[in-house]
């Protein structure tokens, strides 16, 4: 019984760490993502062992019949998953693939040969959290959110909510791709900070809408359609509303 509680509280501790590192991760702090991956792997391992221990606590040992149980190795994440499969639990193909991906990345990280594509890491961590949540829910195993509070719960819920996770990723993508250091609001989906300035256009990283920018013939800055008007149809020239004000409202 004590063992079971230890597994669960250690699992939740690892999840908290994974969520904190996920939140800290950024272009500058790639190391934080690395630790998020490691903590999340640890969380999953402990969580699935905890699920196995629900059938019998001794089943988390490779050899539950050993005469010296304290010295026995415990099962791996994959043993635990196989046990749950044998019990009739379903693991979706995608969940399996994501777990394989996480395992490979964890190995690479441990052997210092990893290359991190930040968005791929964020997307996959989100997918794994959502799949785990669904698995727990479907099998009535554990309500993870109940064990979290404050910031941890907020980040967890963002990850569980696919739209919120995509929105956070789109903002990070926009920051990375924009050519002038600024991000823009999207006139297509209406989200803030998701547009990147690419090739004189604003390209939304969430809904892919493209806002064409019109160059003002007078100040040569570029403006969205609603801030620029046609100056000369024949030559396809535009004027921004500031220059237009300047010309027409002069005393």
The least distance separating Zn ion from the CB of residue 166, rounded to whole angstroms, comes to: 11
The least distance separating Zn ion from the CB of residue 193, rounded to whole angstroms, comes to: 11
Q: Which is nearer to Zn ion, 118 or 209 (CB)?
A: 209
The least distance separating Zn ion from the CB of residue 27, rounded to whole angstroms, comes to: 21
Q: Which is nearer to Zn ion, 82 or 229 (CB)?
A: 229
DSSP strand pairing (214-215 vs 222-223): antiparallel
The least distance separating Zn ion from the CB of residue 217, rounded to whole angstroms, comes to: 8
Q: Which is nearer to Zn ion, 57 or 176 (CB)?
A: 176
Q: Which is nearer to Zn ion, 75 or 186 (CB)?
A: 186
The least distance separating Zn ion from the CB of residue 129, rounded to whole angstroms, comes to: 24
Q: Which is nearer to Zn ion, 40 or 243 (CB)?
A: 243
Q: Which is nearer to Zn ion, 10 or 229 (CB)?
A: 229
Q: Which is nearer to Zn ion, 176 or 188 (CB)?
A: 188
Catalog residues that contact Zn ion under the rule CB under 5 A.
186, 188-189, 204, 206-207, 209, 216, 218-219, 240, 243
What is the DSSP track for the chain?
A: -HHHHHHHHHHHHHHHHHHHHHHH--SS-HHHHHHHHHHHHHHHHHHHHHHHHTT-GGGGBS-TT-SSGGGSPBPPHHHHHHHHHHTT----HHHHHHHHHHHHHHHHHHTT-----HHHHHHHHHHHHHHHHHHHHHTT---GGGG--HHHHHHHHHHHSHHHHHHHHHHHHHHHH-SSS-EE--TTT--TT-EEEETTEEEETTT--EEE-EEBTTT--EE-GGGEEEEETTTTEEEEHHHHHHHHT--
The least distance separating Zn ion from the CB of residue 149, rounded to whole angstroms, comes to: 33
Q: Choose among 206, 186, 141, 167: nearest CA to 8.
A: 141
Residues 59 and 83: their CA atoms lie apart, in Å, by 9
The least distance separating Zn ion from the CB of residue 197, rounded to whole angstroms, comes to: 14
152 φ, ψ (degrees, to nearest 5): -60, -45
């Amino acid at each position: 019984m004590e063992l079971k509680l230890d597994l669960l509280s250690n699992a939740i501790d690892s999840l908290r760490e994974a969520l904190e590192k996920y939140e800290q991760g950024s272009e500058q702090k790639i190391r934080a993502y690395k630790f998020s991956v490691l903590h999340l792997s640890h969380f999953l391992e402990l969580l699935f062992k905890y699920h196995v221990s629900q059938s019998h606590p001794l089943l988390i040992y490779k050899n539950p019949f050993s005469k010296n149980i304290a010295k026995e190795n415990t099962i791996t994440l994959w043993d635990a998953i196989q046990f749950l499969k044998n019990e009739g639990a379903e693991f979706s193909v995608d969940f399996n693939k994501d777990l394989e991906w996480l395992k490979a990345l964890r190995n690479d990280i441990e052997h210092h040969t990893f290359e991190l594509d930040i968005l791929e890491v964020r997307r996959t961590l989100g997918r794994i959290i959502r799949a785990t949540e669904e698995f727990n829910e479907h099998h009535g195993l554990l309500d993870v959110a109940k064990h979290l509070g404050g910031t941890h719960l907020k980040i967890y819920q963002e990850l569980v909510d696919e739209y919120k996770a995509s929105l956070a990723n789109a903002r990070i993508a926009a920051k990375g791709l924009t050519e002038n250091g600024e991000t823009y609001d999207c006139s297509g989906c209406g989200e803030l900070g998701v547009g990147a300035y690419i090739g004189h256009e604003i390209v939304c990283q969430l809904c892919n809408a493209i806002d064409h920018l019109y160059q003002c013939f007078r100040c040569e800055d570029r403006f969205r359609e609603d801030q620029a008007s046609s100056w000369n149809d024949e030559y396809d020239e535009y004027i921004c509303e500031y220059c237009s004000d300047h010309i027409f409202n002069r005393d």
